[in-house]
Amino acid sequence: MNKKVLSLILALALSLSLAACGSSGNGSASGSGSQSGSGSSSAETVVLKVAASPTPHAQILEQVKPVLAEQGIDLQITEYGDYVVPNTAVEEGDEDVNYFQHQPYLDEFNEGNGTHLVSVATIHYEPFGIYPGKTASLEDLPDGATVGVPSDVTNEARALQLLEAQGLIKLKEGAGLNATPNDIEENPKNLQFKELEAAMLPNVTSEVDIAVINGNYALQAGFSSAQDAIALEDSSSEAAQTFANVIVVKEGNENNAAVLALVEALKSDAVRDYINDTFQGNVLPIF
């Protein structure tokens, strides 16, 4: 056998040997796992799925994504435009966390739907406001004026309390945070109430005299509480102390490492400064 043929045979044998070695592995070398909400190792990225209202919740969450990424947590934010699906998604495990609601609404939702959701932190408060529609000021409200209010129980009660604080109505004693229009005992202007899903209220201001709107939906619609609202909740009011927006998980996940990391990141000086600088009083940090 001449040297040229021998060299060719040796090269072919070496090539086959290397190919066999290269195909012997049976796992990924990236270490990028996708176990939602689980603990992580140095070689694993944990996916934490959060359901949030677009404004200001998702905006605030975006500020902590880089911080969590440094800890191996991939924060995936999905925006929702209603108050129901974010809770059912966490209950069913499609999302790990939600950030859009206050404690009274959460309590009411659990009671009415048999869900098992718990809050793990309070982050911010959004002043509830009265915004003009056909009528520009409270003093000019005509007899029989139409007032847009949220249709869900806790937010409607909050709206009625704000109207009462402005002297427009008087509620029955003890109605508190469960008040409905049926609890109005004095209504000197014969106000008529148009109950709508909270998210719809900014879209119907031209159809009502005034509308009482959740802070996040007002922001989302481009309203400024400082410039556009004709009345706001007082920071010392029962509502201001009660309706803080909370981080929510399914019961049993309160001590999940990724969730605790999210809470810690949100309660940072950097996030406090971001809220104050960005929202100029429309959203207030409470940590």
Average pLDDT for consecutive 10-residue bins of the chain (287 residues)? 42 40 31 42 82 96 98 98 96 98 93 98 92 97 98 91 96 91 97 96 97 89 89 79 92 98 98 93 86
The CA distance from 65 to 15, in Å, is 46
Q: For the domain covering 129-234, report its CATH number.
A: 3.40.190.10
Task: Show the tokens assigned to 83.
Answer: 């108050």
Q: Where are the domains of the chain?
A: 46-126+243-285, 129-234
Q: Kindly report the pTM of this predicted structure.
A: 0.67
The amino acid at 172: K
Q: Does the structural domain 46-126+243-285 have CATH classification 3.40.190.10?
A: yes
Task: Show the tokens assigned to 45.
Answer: 């990225």
pLDDT of residue 286: 87
State the burial class of residue 169 (Cβ atoms within 10 Å of its Cβ: 0-12, 13-18, 19+): buried
pLDDT of residue 138: 97
Instruction: Determine which helix (DSSP H) or strand (DSSP E) holds 149, and give its type and residue range.
Output: strand 146-150
pLDDT of residue 43: 54
Q: Identical fold at 46-126+243-285 and 129-234?
A: yes
The CA distance from 203 to 211, in Å, is 10
Which residues does 24 contact at the CB level (< 8 Å), separation at least 6?
none
